[in-house]
Structure 1
Amino acid sequence: MEFRHLRCFLVLAEELHFGRAAQRLAMTQPPLSLNIQQLEASVGAPLFVRNSRGVALTPAGQAFVPRARALLDAAGAAAREAREVAQGVSGQLRVGFAGTVLYRGLPQILRAFGQRHPRLTLVLREMSSSDQLIDLQHGRLDAGFVHTTRVPPGCSQVLVSRQAFVACVPQAHPLAHKRRVAPPALAGQPFVAISRAVSPDYHDRLLALCADHGFEPEVRFELRHWLSVVSLVAQGLGVSMVPAALQQAGLPGAAFVPLQGDTPPYETRCLWRSGAESAALAAFLDAVRGFALPTE
């Protein structure tokens, strides 16, 4: 049974006349008759009665009409979906992100992308930068928003944003109302840090920043998420240095104060596997580039 058999059957079922059906199908009557015979042989039952008065559907033919129409409709829908996925009009993308991107970059990108491509579905996964790198290399993510300068071979990148670190202290802390804080002012206090296992770049950078200012922070807690770092500080359990965008989280009890002097920038990059750009991913990357920082 082939789709051409079904098309011939449905047109003949509507016309109940070989001549008119053949004309609609842009063929002569002999090929139409052959297609119907082949279909009946495949089904194993006569679908039409042919006599001197014309053509009529048998009970088997009447039962077969809705099923044949459903088969052709499903085939047409499958073909349309395949074309749309190939063209980047519809489909699904798996996108990883580190939590701080929710406060700078990701919402704007999602809004622009959704307006242009409403039929493309994004499956968002909040993950650490290190976990995203693993899943990108194994093809379990199509793109990821990471906070690392250690871009692995085989990955392409776009620098999405760059922001400063700020001091994060409890609101009741003596430093909370300062206009600026020198990093050494955080010395000798319980320090809340992002885990080295989760973000080795920035864990080490912040320790190096402290060392450059002549002190070693008393790291009391290491956490997997920056928002957890701020939450612990807000509870009065320590101080920290965090990306400035976390001020938008609105957690009560935490105060953010700009740091004096040069501090390492906190950068967000969008990564994807080089050479793996589908039409849908290309459309998403267009939205990313629309928000990204200009190339230096």
Structure 2
Amino acid sequence: MHPFDTVTARLILVLAEEGSIGRAGDKENIAPSAVSRRLSELESRLGVILFDRSAQGVRLTAAGEVYVERTRAVMREIADLETVMAEFATSRRGSLRIACTSASLSGRLPELLAKYAERHPTIALDIKEMGAAAGLSALEDGLADVAIVSDNYDFSRFETRPFEDDRVWVLASPDHPLAPELAPRKAIAFERVVGHEAVGIHHAGSLDRLLNEHARKAGHTIGEHVRVETFPALVRLVEAGFGIGFLRSTSLHLLAGTDLLCAPLADPWALRQLLVARRKSGPVSTAMKSFISLCAETYVPTPE
């Protein structure tokens, strides 16, 4: 029996996520030819084909899906074992790996991390900024200890607690037809704004999913002739007159120095939360327990 090769196993997991040998190589800083060679050697050793290759990329076979599922479990066990052993190594610095969204980094997370570092100076913090879906995947794969993500995902495999309330706001330029209604900064119904052309943000991201879900429920489609990947770009295009935009309250600081008008959405679904999540089946290190406790201690709910 060949020993379990964690490097190749990690490459297979990344390859399954990316669907491309080139992108997997870029992500892991390994030449595509090396990725291809490791994959071929593994398939030859196992006697099965793990991926179907095509000009469009690679796709898991039935055998590949089983291999990836079992490999994720093994990699989680390895990560969990290291966490447990670190608790015994009292002379070793502790560590905490946090997967977090840009929204959390725009909100109270930096100040909370500073307070945590002050209380626990020997804990090394490893902060990885990524989308919510990627953050939850990192938790599942044992690549992060906790994740701070938006609340509109499946959390059945995770334990969660509130981290920060985060209402959705609508913004527009001063010459937009909605400007008079936004100027007082009083809450406005989604129904009043959904019919206007909007600047789209990060397709399939949490805010995009949220807005389109409730637009469909209201019998509307959000018109988006322009779509961007970052909130600073969205603000600039709303300034330029391409339509209205939507931001979470943790990103309202991006409006500083602009003449844009904004108001919170009045609909109950628009008051969202960022959550701090951990894997239910994972070990709870002292560093993780202290961080989650600090999150709970400093969380202040938004008044109704």
TM-score, scaled to structure 1: 0.61
Q: For 1:1-296, list aligned pairs within 5 A.
A: 82-85=89-92, 90-178=93-181, 179=184, 180=186, 181-199=188-206, 202-253=207-258, 254-274=260-280, 275-292=282-299
Larger radius of gyration: 1
Letter in 2 for 1:83: T
* SS of alignment partner, residue 179 of structure 2: coil
**Structural RMSD (CA):** 2.8
Q: How many angstroms apart in 2 are the aligned matches of 1:270 and 1:244?
A: 18
8 A contact 2:226–2:242 mirrored in 1: no
Instruction: Show structure 1 runs of 5+ residues with no match.
Output: 1-78
TM-score (norm 2): 0.60
The question of whether the paired residues in 2 share the 8 Å contact of 1:198 and 1:224 is answered with no
What letter matches 1:229 in structure 2?
L
CA shift for structure 1 position 130? 0.9
User: Which moved further from structure 2: 94-103 or 202-211?
Assistant: 202-211
8 Å contact from structure 1 (residues 176, 257) kept in 2 = no
- In 2: Cα distance, 1:229 partner to 1:94 partner: 30
Q: Contact (CA 8 Å) 1:99, 1:226: kept in 2 or not?
A: no
Q: Which runs of 5+ in 2 are unaligned?
A: 1-85
1:18 is aligned to: none
- Provide the C-alpha distance between the structure 2 equivalents of 1:272 and 1:144, rounded to a whole number of angstroms: 7
Q: Secondary structure at the match of 1:190?
A: coil
Structure 2 Cα separation of the partners of residues 276 and 222 of structure 1? 40
Whole-angstrom CA distance in 2 between matches of 1:98 and 1:231: 21
How many pairs does the alignment contain?
A: 209
Q: Is the 8 A contact 2:169 2:265 kept in 1?
A: yes
CA contact (8 A) 1:94 1:142 kept: yes
Partner letter of residue 291 of structure 2? F
2:103–2:251: 8 Å Cα contact kept in structure 1?
Answer: yes
Q: In 2, Cα distance between the equivalents of 1:244 and 1:187?
A: 19
Mapped contact 1:159–1:293 kept (Cα < 8 A): no
Aligned to 1:285, the other structure's residue is in SS state helix
